[in-house]
Amino acid sequence: MGGEGDGCAPDTSSGPVFVPFTLPGERVLAAGAGERRELVEVLAASADRIAPACPHFGTCGGCALQHWAHAPYLAWKVERLAGTLARQRIETEILAPFAAQPGTRRRVALHARRGTREAARLGYKARKSWDLVDIEACPIADPAIQAAIPALKRLAAPLFEHPKSAPTLHVTLTPAGLDIDISGVERRSGGLSADARVLLAERAAAAGFARVTLDGEVAYQALSPQVRLGPATVTLPPGAFLQATPGAEAAMAGFVTQAAAGASRIADLYCGVGTFTFRLAEIAPVHAADFAPDAIRALTAALGAAPRLKGVVAEARDLVRRPVLAEELKKTDLAVFDPPRAGAAEQTAELARSSVARVVGVSCNPATFARDARALIDAGFTLERVLPVDQFLWSPHIELVGVFGR
């Protein structure tokens, strides 16, 4: 299997050939030229081939691997993770992975295109195309999101007053209901008219949505979209980042807090709205930092009502341009970092210089994690163990949490 989830025939006369929707050991007929071909027919199927769960599989660009049985699919992801670490000369204990189940995604991004006055077309981009697959179901998403698809199509219909508008609905399921932040509505012409805003609010109310925002500006709100993060209840800023599934968040947080046991002072870097902060603050005082001011404001606002905390100091800080320095970490014995896909090279360099005894790295990109891990290892750390996390089901994507000790 290739890195993007395509089957690979490595030894053809013209070099390796990649074919989507194929599996190891299969014999297939493929069409096209060059390195990437298209599947025409499976001539001899693998015993690991299964029926896909979604009627849109194959045309929708969201999933690549619904045709593969779960056990070999998951083993391949873990093997890829081990290979990525090996390219940085890193060997470690890789634990049994956490695997998300279908119907557990609480956060999806749905693209909208002009339809009728009553309902837009709504779904995901097609494979290798800017075209839209207008979905009726999405088996990765929580049933509450799936059930709301018709109402979301109605909500999106008034967004097309300007021909250049290409809205995306960033949908997050919270205990209060769906929180929807809409981006991609053309604003240079003045944005949505008053009539369109009224219609948007009416349709949000009819659907029972908690909140609808346009690029962070509230267009409708009935309830405050709040989530529970350990002992704290946090009101989410529009478009806030959360782990994609509650189960993955719980598995990651449990692993992080287990590694933090016995710490006396903790740094939580790239803390977001406090996914780990509040749980860590039950163990020891926490210095929390993140580049997003709205996330820090949400975290800080939740502190007063959260019980059993040892203390949290939170700051909005660009950890690329202004990482927390080794000198600022003199009294810190545990650091946690959870950066975007680009990794935490600048912050890792300061951790490598510091006297911090233990580091926990959370990553959505094994390649940048391996790069950052190499810097820590070269400074005297050991990567003791890694938890793989598969929360983007049926994609080639794998995440991880790694524990480092001196």
316 exposure class (CB count in 10 Å sphere: 0-12, 13-18, 19+): middle
Helices (H), 87-179: 143-147, 149-156
* Catalytic status, residue 138: no
Q: What is the pLDDT of residue 129?
A: 83
Grade residue 27 by pLDDT with cuts at 50, 70 and 90: very high
Contacts of residue 140, Cβ cutoff 8 Å, sequence gap at least 6? 62, 63, 102, 103, 104, 105, 108, 393, 394
CA atoms within 13 A on the CB side of 378: 12
Question: In the predicted model, is pLDDT for residue 83 greater than 90?
Answer: yes
Tokens representing 318 are 């660009």
Q: What is the pLDDT of residue 12?
A: 76
State pLDDT tens for residues 270-306. 999 999 999 999 999 999 999 999 999 999 999 999 9
What is the share, in percent, of the chain residues with pLDDT greater than 70? Answer: 100
Judged against a pLDDT cut of 90, whether residue 163 lies above it is answered with no
Q: How far apart are CA 40 and CA 30, in angstroms?
A: 5
Cα 83 from Cα 356, distance rounded (Å): 28
Note the pLDDT of residue 21.
97
Q: What is the pLDDT of residue 10?
A: 86
Start-end of H helices in 210-282: 246-260, 277-281
**Confidence class for position 11, pLDDT limits 50, 70, 90:** confident
In three-state secondary structure terms, 303 is: helix
Phi, psi of 82 (to 5 degrees): -60, -40
Q: What is the mean pLDDT of the chain?
A: 96
Sign of the CA dihedral with 282 first, then 398, 133, and 65 last:
negative
Domain assignments of the chain as residue spans, ordered by start: 7-49, 75-101+242-405, 107-226
| Res. 329 pLDDT band, cuts 50 70 90 | very high
Q: Which of 60, 63, 271, 364 is catalytic?
A: 364
The CATH class given to the 107-226 domain equals mainly beta
Residue 257 pLDDT greater than 80, yes or no:
yes
% the chain with pLDDT above 90: 94
Would you say residue 242 has pLDDT above 90? yes
- Inform me whether the pLDDT recorded for 82 exceeds 90: yes
pLDDT band with cut points at 50, 70 and 90 for residue 13: confident
Q: State the Cα–Cα distance between residues 13 and 270, nearest whole angstrom.
A: 48
Ramachandran angles phi, psi of 347, nearest 5°: -70, -35
- With respect to CATH, is domain 75-101+242-405 assigned 3.40.50.150? yes
Question: Span 219-241, mean pLDDT?
Answer: 96
Helices (H), 263-365: 277-281, 293-303, 345-353
